Copies of this chain bind each other. A is one copy, B any other.
């Protein structure tokens, strides 16, 4: 029953079971709200873009053939038959031997097939224009439908909508589009002693940390959190809350249950409703983490301890959630750094250790130019005085964040965390590590 897995399995098992985008629901959003959403179906333009032959220069619209062979020494002399007004179809056409004045973006008049740049023309003031440079058909203009032909697919389903896609849709007059609905994640806290953050705890009650924190973490992945009322430590209450959440959401996170009895409730409920894929992860903190498949939806039991719940969310839930949101594997940012101090560890299981970059919580400015590399005396072996360089070429050092209580506020001093493997005796000063950043 108690299937303990290691951290890598805890991440890969749900990815394999539920991998791929789950969001079958679609919804229509206005262009204004489409940024970052995933397009649910191909976009086919009903119109051509541009809808008319369009000048890309200020100058004169001409028949290219009229300019062949001309030069500064021997300009082609054309009769000016009018001016194209911006935004209005030309009121004249160009027959052989004539031209019209035109600005960038203006409609090239019928009969004309090229534009000569202003700098290569001379107006003589008598109703004629001298053309000093020959142009080929199509020069300095864009033909109708060159950008998009009517009926042609412009954007494919599955595209993550970026600003230039929004520009493209706007150019076709498409002001709303069908996108994958946000993945919804139920966030449920359990515990007789827990009250929500809007209530003043009495007696030995504690405020719920996990639900507001995990809801924000879900939102940071691009998914939509749905918070449910706090569930007391009763099997039936938890069963009905989780059952309802699974009907309403794409994923369920149950947290809390720090005591053995509470944890058992979560495991019993998930087993009752579906299949427990694992129960327990060999890492500290984070052991009481479990994952279940309930009617092909993922349900996680996370530790009650907020720091443990946060680490396990980032390491185990986030990769799956990112993939369900269509965002690739989005494992979070990593920065390579050199440890200033050794971190002993001999627990026989892997360990999360919060670290900060040398100096201050946000080290970016200090580390620039290698200023973070002043040798400090902590690096017992002296090896730490030559640091790792991250992808931006900045030298980075990291130190563990010590905390007696290990409670959530202790993370305020940390920039991220490292994972110390289960079969090591900790990490030593001077060792290069991958720091997983909180943001």
Seen from chain A, the residues whose Cβ lies within 8 Å of a Cβ on chain B are: 31-32, 34-36, 49-52, 54, 58, 84-90, 103-107, 118, 142, 146-148, 154-155, 159-160, 162-173, 175, 191-194, 197-198, 200-201, 203-217, 219-220, 233, 258-261, 304, 306-307, 310, 328-329, 361-362, 364, 391, 404-405, 407-412, 438-439
Q: Name, among A36, A211, A213, the residue most crowded by chain B CB atoms within 10 Å (CB to CB).
A: A213
Partner of A86, one of B90, B154, B166, B233: B233
Are the C-beta atoms of B31 and A193 separated by less than 8 Å?
Answer: no
Show 25 residue pairs from A and B whose CB-CB distance is below 8 angstroms, ordered by the A residue: A35-B219, A51-B206, A86-B233, A87-B205, A88-B204, A90-B204, A104-B258, A105-B191, A107-B203, A147-B407, A147-B408, A159-B361, A160-B439, A162-B220, A162-B439, A164-B306, A164-B408, A164-B438, A166-B212, A167-B408, A168-B209, A168-B409, A172-B207, A173-B201, A175-B197
Asked if A87 and B204 make an inter-chain contact with CB atoms under 8 angstroms apart, the answer reads: yes
Nearest CB on B from A101, distance (A): 11
A86 touching B197 by the CB < 8 A rule? no
> Considering the chains assembled together, what is the distance between the CA atoms of A213 and B36 in angstroms?
13
4 shortest interchain CB distances as A-B pairs:
A167-B213, A87-B193, A107-B204, A147-B407
On whether the beta carbons of A163 and B214 are closer than 8 Å, the reply is yes
List chain B residues, Cβ under 8 A from A168: 209, 408-409, 411-412
* Cβ-neighbour of A31 out of B36, B89, B171, B197 (below 8 A): B197
A58 & B216 in contact (Cβ 8 Å cutoff): no
Cβ of A194 to closest chain B Cβ, rounded Å: 8
Contact across chains for B147 and A173 when beta carbons are under 8 A apart: no
Q: Is A103 within 8 A of B364, CB to CB? A: no
- Docked-complex contact B306 and A204, CB < 8 angstroms: no
Known: A407-B171, A409-B171. A191 touches B86 (CB 8 A): yes
**A142-B407 in contact given A50-B206, A106-B193 (Cβ < 8 Å):** yes
Q: Which of B54, B175, B212 contacts A198 (CB 8 A)?
A: B175
Is A154 touching B409 in the complex (CB atoms < 8 A)?
Answer: yes
Give chain B residues whose Cβ lies under 8 Å from the Cβ of A164.
213, 306-307, 310, 408, 411-412, 438
Q: Are A328 and B364 in contact (CB under 8 A)?
A: yes
> Contacts A212-B170, A259-B104: A204 and B409 contacting too (C-beta < 8 A)?
no
Are A206 and B105 within 8 A (Cβ)? yes
- Residues of chain B contacted by A170 (CB below 8 angstroms): 197, 207-209, 211-213
Given contacts A89-B204, A171-B209, contact A407 B104 (CB under 8 A): no
- Cβ of A89: which chain B residues have Cβ within 8 Å of it? 203-204
Which of B167, B219, B310, B328 is the one whose CB lies under 8 Å from A209? Answer: B167
Q: Are B407 and A146 in contact (CB under 8 A)?
A: yes
Query: What residue in chain B is nearest A142 (Cβ atoms)?
Result: B405
Q: How far is the CB of A321 from chain B (nearest CB, A)?
A: 13
Whether B173 lies near A407 (C-beta < 8 A) is no
A227 to B220, CA, bound (A): 26
Pick the contact of A105: B147, B193, B412, B439 (CB < 8 A): B193
Specify which of B191, B362, B412 is in contact with A165 (CB 8 Å cutoff): B412
Whether A201 contacts B51 by the Cβ 8 Å rule is yes
- A223: shortest Cβ distance to chain B, in Å? 12
Determine the residue in chain B with the shortest Cβ distance to A90. Answer: B204
User: Hey, which chain B residues are within 8 Å of A407, CB to CB?
Assistant: 49-50, 142, 146-147, 171
| Cβ distance A48 to chain B, nearest Cβ, rounded Å | 11
Residues of B within 8 A of A155 (CB): 412
Q: Is the CB of B220 within 8 A of A259?
A: no
CB neighbours (8 Å) of A58 from chain B are 259-261
Measured CB to CB, the nearest residue on chain B to A407 is: B147
New A-B pairs, 4, CB < 8 Å, besides A58-B261, A147-B409, A163-B214: A86-B233, A87-B191, A167-B216, A167-B310
Report yes or no: B408 in contact with A210, Cβ–Cβ below 8 A. Answer: no
Q: How far is the CA of A255 from the CA of B411 in the complex (A)?
A: 44
A201-B407 Cα distance, complex, nearest whole Å: 60
Kindly report which residue of chain B lies nearest to residue A259, judged by CB atoms. B103
